[in-house]
Amino acid sequence: MSINKDQVEGRMKEAGGKVQETLGKTVGNTKQEIKGKVNKVAGAAQATYGDVKSDLQDADRQDQKNSH
């Protein structure tokens, strides 16, 4: 399984969003908390996209390997 840029960036964005959300909640800043939730969801979506992309690339490599 290969790791791609979307997986790494997405997981980093997701983690940063979680920190931002928790910080906003802790200090009572609703705007910051919401921004954190948005970043967390966006990061998770990007990571999932990266996972699917990686799975497709791995499947393609396997198909090419099996066809030779």
pLDDT in tens, 10-24: 999 999 999 999 999
Question: Among candidates 37, 59, 57, which has minimal Cα distance to 49?
Answer: 57
The band of 60, judged by pLDDT with boundaries at 50, 70 and 90, is confident
Higher pLDDT, 59 or 48: 48
CB-based contacts of 24, cutoff 8 Å, min separation 6: 30, 31, 32, 33, 34, 35, 36
Residue 66's pLDDT is 85
CA distance linking residue 33 with residue 2, whole number of Å: 33
* pLDDT at position 29 over 70: yes
What's the total number of domains in the chain?
A: 1
Q: Which domain holds residue 56?
A: 5-67
